[in-house]
Structure 1
Amino acid sequence: MVTLPTTSVLPAPWHSENGTPPPRRLIAADDTLRAEAAYRSACEGTALLWQGDYPGALRLLHAMRRRAERRRPRSAPGSPAEAFRQHRRERARLARVLGMLLVPLGADHHVRLHRAPDVREACRAAYGPLLDNRIVSLRELLGVIGAHQWRTRGVEVPALGARIHPHYGVFSPVRGEYVDLVARAPLPPAAHDHPTAYDLGTGTGVLAALLARRGLHEVLVTDANPRALACARDNARRLGLADRIETAGTGLYPPGRGRAALVVCNPPWLPGRPSSALDEGVYDPGSRMLRSFLDGLADRLLPGGEGWLVLSDLAEHLGLRSRADLLGAVSGAGLRVTGRLDTVPRHPRATTPDRADPLLHTARAAEVTSLWRLAPA
């Protein structure tokens, strides 16, 4: 094991899609480095640049994960909100420690390790063109590979009768219950004469595609993530709906496009700060997107139009937002609730007990996802 100088630490430029800063300290590592020493170095903030073969890097990463999970602190008694914050802090610590195992990536997107798989197509899809060699986190690279597998296979969406293909960094519609709500909610009266809709924060474009399949002739989609807009365009093309679905920028509401019969928004369900690009589909800092949707809705609806807010009550069970807060934001925006459709989750995290995080499992088991039908008061 050779210690590298702390100045000019990396032998090639650092690359992180999540915006993780480059490590300050680095050691070269191979199979002679014991897993306990590797884990201790990573906890202390020293990164490990792997110089063995690719399977050896995977073995070390798994060994580090086992040690991290064995030493995870038990949840301290307290409020659900504090227990959840502790859970997030521990998840962030785990990501930080495991992100310290680094591998070299060539300018042609191949992993420069013996016995490494061909990941060039996956890396090109996530990273775009690279002008030179890079150093990347093995944990991030595995996420890139997994995301490309999802993109290639697609996710079956029964309500759509088709597959949606998520891109890297775009939240996948694996929880189909919220899509089912949009499939069965009655369209507002205005949609019959003016079949126009907005899908705000479109993600993969799954809800936009469903609205187009339901007869909305023009569906404008927005998302703060440019990757999501590209993903929505790709899925619209795959489904033969490119003539009905139009991307309309990274703002929340489409600029200069007037009113619509239907405005749909499925914002991140939990108030909180995201720690990665993918987390932006889960966490909404200060509920900013939720409140911006509500505050702007009345001025964007045609007479007889509706806004559909698709939202889980998980934040309520975790003590992060109350039902009174939500209803107060609705009335404060000059809106009224005209109806609500509810469904319960079907994903394994809601049905399978989690001994490591019993409180979070309890909240998920009690979760209800709702489609709130809103109109001007």
Structure 2
Amino acid sequence: MTKKWLDVSPKDWFYRSVLEADKIFLDSKREETLFTPKRYNKFVTGKSRKVYNFTTTGGQTKFHIKGYKPDSRETVVVYVDGIPYNPTKLEKDYVHVGFPMAGNKQVSICLSGVVQMHQGDHTPKNCQTYPLTSTCSLAYPSKKLEMSKKYVFDLRYSLNEVAVCMSKKLTRVNVDKAEGESIQAALTRSIGDKDDCFTIIDGVLYVSYNLNQFPIYINYNYKSGAVVKNRQKEKVVPSSKCVMNNDRFFPNITVSRAEFFVILQRMRKSLYGKYTDRGYHPNSVDKTERHISDRKKIVGKWYSEDVLNILDEKFNDGCYVFPLYEDNSFQPEVCVTKAEAVVYLHRFSEWALERFR
């Protein structure tokens, strides 16, 4: 489907490492990978994220996008029948591909937009660089179906409900909306940040955030009198004015010690899952034992369980794997230095070899 990382390409020096890391799954359903995406939806004025859809004519090599201006900060991806290509040339109002195409090809051009970033000033208290999010009201991309008033979900014909985007089938998600619960809340609970999912509620198609503005071909059931019929390949383009994107790797941002240790912890979970019968079972925050002088700065944060659990890990001789500062503080919001990263990775590999050999 759409590229997992819009800003990672084969020419990048870190390309192979990122792809290999994406093959490390942390759950049995193979949905949760080592790196968690950074969420973002705030853009520089005039450079928001957009998708343009075309049907090709024979021999076509360029696409007209009125008002488009190339920007070195923006990533452009051309999807031809679902296969991503990098454009060969970008110019005012036009995006070029490097080969003449056959007619009736479905092409979607994704302009990533220019994300607004928090720029750290490299001081210990403000060292991080990260993408920003807006306060708009999130809504999953949606589109009312032509037969919405007659739509019916019949378990006997549930396999006939199919959605295809760029030649690939989407995953259908059952959404059981609780009494008094909003549709957005139910979708957030059922779909969350998962990619390439769809559902139909009261004749309205809803899809994952990453499919905003992409064309979907949908089969669904509807009633014609007393008979249930199947609507075939209805083309819709679900959209939303406020989505939460998570498809950029942001290779040049800086990370805090807490975020770096969350990555180590995810690797630790993976090792326990692979090489022990019991698997990984974290302690609750209040059951972690290590004395950390600035523990109050950690407890209650999104990373608290991961950080406090991995800091409890010991070598066989009883020494803790990861050192704290001289005052026994962890300083979670300070950025990791290259020297610290090398030490942490070295000690992690030593521990892993000792623990799972």
What TM-score results when the alignment is normalised by the length of structure 2?
0.23
Rg (Cα) greater in structure: 2
TM-score, with structure 1 as normaliser: 0.22
